[in-house]
């Protein structure tokens, strides 16, 4: 595309994907109007920066792309075009420096999202992008125009191409409410139902004692896995209804799918992942004399607090009189999870527009000239920078795809 262009593109959605596409298009001289239903853009992006803006991850490409699981083949072209390294270079171009944390995660030096977003929005406006807030997309009229509800009333917008970057279905108060599903369905676009991802799970019921003493307590230095899968190290949190936190989020997709298939999912918790089973058995086999089992667990294994409470909650009572069996429980404590937490509590969602309905430019096959990007596509990834990188990459790819389509259409 030439630097100056007579083309006009409408973007619906002001998250990372929509804003990145706006950057690609405006840099090519395309006139861009971006509409967002909220009073300001980038609200979920700012929320992601609370507690530290984890923008991407520094691991090598094969490991990085594997985080997208069964959608890795579809995400790979996007990540090759605009992956972690390109994202970091782009951030540096905004005057924001980054550093790599001990876990390999990449952060802005000041750990904040707001300065990055401010610098980015200034550059977009300098490039001519017009951002319309409090403008909600309502679908299409019979002539194919976009119906937009604004503070000044309803309007119809026409443009040469449209990008939909409407987010998933979590955090509806920030604008990601999944209302677009019905609008695309009306156009004959199939979709995969939205489900919680990177979410917590409920148990059937905790005891009142566990809830009263340990709801909100962090469960640190544990390993959790599903049957037949190696356990993962990390930490999580006991909640009043179940369990959540980074380690659970990393396992949320297979746990959710097991619940979908079977009605529940069994995970096993290794309370002492640094100690092999034989060492735990040997420690528990030592005479405890008049000491209680609680004191014995504490003195021999350092097991107390929420870990000891969870062991007492989940292990059969008779196992506390059988050191060998109790050791097995400590190394593989079974926990049954029965449902996800509500979707609006989830960090992200799975489901949405399947890649099979899109061409390689991320354009809808059923609706020529309409492209999709971001979390509304059917992919999911764990936290750790993968979600944001996927959104940026799809926004970049859709922007390039729109340029190619405009040129092929007579630009």
Instruction: Write out 281-305 in H/E/C secondary structure.
Output: HHHHHCCCCCCCHHHHHHHHHCCCH
What's the whole-number mean pLDDT along residues 362-386? Answer: 96
Mean pLDDT of 167-178: 83
Average pLDDT over residues 140-158: 95
Among 137, 23, 82, 65, which Cα is nearest to 402's? Answer: 23
pLDDT at 3: 44
Average pLDDT of 352-370?
Answer: 97
Is the pLDDT score of 207 beyond 50?
Answer: yes
d(CA 186, CA 137): 14
Instruction: Please tell me the distance from the alpha carbon of residue 378 to that of residue 75, in angstroms, as a whole number.
Output: 10
pLDDT at 1: 41
C-alpha span between 273 and 275 (Å, rounded): 6
SS3 of the chain: helix, strand, coil, percent, to 5: 40, 25, 35
Report the SS3 class of residue 162: strand
Q: Where are the beta strands (DSSP E) in 226-375?
A: 232-238, 242-244, 265-270, 333-337, 339-340, 348-352, 370-372
Strand partners, 152: none
> Residue 158 is encoded by which pair of tokens?
């026409």
Contacts of 162 (CB under 8 A, 6+ apart): 9, 10, 11, 12, 146, 369, 370, 371
Q: Mean pLDDT throughout 295-303?
A: 93
For residue 408, what is the enclosing H or E element? helix 386-408
Question: In the chain, what percentage of residues exceed pLDDT 70?
Answer: 98
Which residues, at least 6 apart from 11, have a Cβ–Cβ distance to it below 8 Å? 18, 21, 22, 32, 33, 34, 35, 162, 163, 165
Task: Tell me the CA end-to-end span of the chain in Å, nearest whole number.
Answer: 8
Lowest mean pLDDT among 47-61, 78-92, 120-134, 136-150: 47-61
Mean pLDDT score, 324-342: 97
Confidence of residue 2 (pLDDT cuts 50, 70, 90): very low
- List the chain domain ranges: 8-196+346-408, 201-340
Burial of 317 (0-12, 13-18, 19+ CB in 10 A): exposed
| 404, 1 Cβ separation under 8 angstroms | no
From 174, 207, 183, select the one nearest 346 (Cα to Cα): 174
Mean of per-residue pLDDT scores for the chain: 94
> To 10 degrees, the CA torsion angle through 242, 244, 248, 252?
80
The answer to whether the predicted template modeling score (pTM) of the entire model surpasses 0.75 is yes
Which tokens sit at 303?
Answer: 């097991």
The yes-or-no verdict on residue 179 having pLDDT over 60 is yes
- What is the spatial distance between Cα 33 and Cα 16, in angstroms, rounded to a whole number? 15
Between CA 252 and CA 268 the distance in angstroms is 14
What CATH code is assigned to 8-196+346-408? 3.50.50.60
Q: Which residues, 6 or more positions from 200, have their beta carbon under 8 angstroms from its beta carbon?
A: 239, 242, 243, 244, 245, 248, 340, 341, 345
Dihedral sign for Cα atoms in the order 376, 378, 382, 388: negative
The residues, ordered by sequence, that sit 6+ positions from 17 with a Cβ below 8 Å of its Cβ are 165, 373, 374, 375, 391, 392, 394, 395, 398
pLDDT in tens, 9-63: 999 999 999 999 999 999 999 999 999 999 999 998 888 777 778 999 999 999 9
Is pLDDT larger for residue 290 or for residue 58?
Answer: 58
Q: What is the pLDDT of residue 48?
A: 78
Nearest to 353 by CA among 373, 374, 380, 378: 378
Q: What is the pLDDT of residue 223?
A: 98
β 98-100/56-57 pair status:
unpaired
């Amino acid at each position: 595309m030439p630097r100056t262009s007579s083309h006009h593109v409408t973007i619906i959605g002001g998250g990372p994907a929509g804003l990145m596409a706006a950057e690609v298009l405006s840099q090519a001289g395309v006139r861009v109007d971006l509409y967002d239903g909220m009073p300001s853009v980038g609200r979920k992006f700012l929320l992601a920066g609370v507690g530290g803006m984890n923008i991407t991850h520094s691991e090598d490409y094969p490991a990085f792309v594997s985080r997208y699981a069964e959608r890795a083949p579809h995400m790979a072209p996007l990540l090759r075009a605009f992956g972690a390294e390109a994202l970091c270079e782009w951030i540096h171009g905004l005057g924001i420096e980054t550093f790599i944390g001990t876990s390999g995660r990449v952060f802005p030096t000041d750990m904040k999202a707001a300065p990055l977003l401010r610098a980015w929005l200034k550059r977009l406006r300098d490039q001519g992008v017009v951002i319309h807030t409090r403008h909600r997309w309502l679908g299409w009229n019979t002539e194919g125009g976009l119906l937009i509800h604004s503070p000044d009333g309803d309007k119809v917008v026409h443009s040469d191409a449209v990008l939909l970057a409407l987010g998933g279905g979590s955090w509806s108060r920030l604008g990601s409410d999944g209302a677009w599903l019905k609008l695309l369905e009306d156009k004959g676009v199939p979709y995969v139902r939205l489900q919680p991802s990177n979410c917590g799970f409920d148990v059937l019921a905790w005891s009142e004692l566990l809830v009263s003493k340990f709801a909100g307590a962090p469960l640190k230095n544990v390993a959790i896995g599903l049957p037949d899968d190696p356990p993962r190290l990390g930490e999580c949190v006991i909640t009043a209804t179940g369990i959540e936190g980074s380690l659970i989020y990393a396992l949320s997709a297979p746990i959710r799918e097991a619940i979908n298939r079977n009605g529940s999912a069994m995970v096993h918790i290794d309370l002492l992942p640094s100690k092999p089973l034989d060492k735990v058995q040997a420690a528990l086999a030592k005479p405890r004399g008049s000491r209680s089992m609680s004191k014995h667990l504490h003195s021999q294994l350092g097991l107390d607090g929420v870990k000891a409470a969870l062991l007492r909650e989940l292990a059969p009572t008779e196992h506390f009189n059988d050191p060998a069996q109790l050791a097995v429980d400590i190394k593989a404590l079974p926990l049954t999870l029965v449902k996800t937490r509500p979707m609006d509590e989830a960090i992200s969602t799975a489901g949405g527009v399947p890649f099979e309905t899109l061409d390689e430019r991320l354009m809808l096959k059923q609706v020529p000239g309409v492209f999709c990007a971001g979390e509304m596509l059917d992919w999911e990834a764990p936290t750790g920078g993968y979600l944001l990188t996927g959104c940026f990459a799809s926004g970049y790819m859709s922007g390039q795809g729109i340029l190619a389509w405009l040129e092929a259409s007579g630009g």
